[in-house]
Amino acid sequence: MIERRLVLVRITAAEMPTAGTATAFELPDSVLTMLDEGWRVVNHTTGFPDLSGDMVVSLYCERPAA
């Protein structure tokens, strides 16, 4: 059996890359902890704006069930 999670990561305006730069950003510690616990990102969405103007990225994660 496989456990699955949908993780939403908010990227604030201050964290957003500027035009002409790479579109990488740092993952929050909570996501890094999940990866250390054996979760892996199997898919993701491109960012979409929320009502505050921040960008939200969806990470689809899974790991084998214990």
State the distance between the two ends of the chain, measured CA to CA, in whole angstroms: 9
Distance CA 31, CA 51 (A): 23
The pLDDT value given to residue 46: 78
* Lookup: tokens for 53: 């103007």
Q: Where are the domains of the chain?
A: 2-64
The model's pLDDT over 24-47, given as tens digits with 9 standing for 90+, comes to 677 889 999 999 999 999 998 877
Model confidence at 9: pLDDT above 70: yes
